[in-house]
Amino acid sequence: MVSDVSYEELHLFAADLGMPPRAFERDHYDVPSELYEAALLQGAVAVGCQELLLRLTRAGLRCRKEYSPRLR
């Protein structure tokens, strides 16, 4: 679950669903299946992966995982 507005909106939405802050990972929350319907009823919009990334990037909220090459 991401926001296309702000992290503040995302955290408030997640808290309203009962998700703990520790469930936040860089720029999103993984919504457990048991909360999926509740999220939709609360106003979340289901989108595919490409649309999700597009919205996140357009909002300037995309936080990529840092790349660290493996040492051999």
pLDDT at position 65, please? 72
Cα–Cα dist 61/72, whole Å: 34
pLDDT tens digits for 6-18?
A: 999 999 999 999 9
Task: Tell me the CA end-to-end span of the chain in Å, nearest whole number.
Answer: 36
Domain boundaries, the chain: 7-58
pTM of the model: 0.79
Does pLDDT of 66 surpass 90? no
pLDDT tens digits for 21-46?
A: 999 998 999 999 999 999 999 999 99
Q: Of 39, 50, 37, give the one whose Cα is nearest residue 29.
A: 39
Judged on CB neighbours under 10 Å (0-12, 13-18, 19+), 24 is: middle
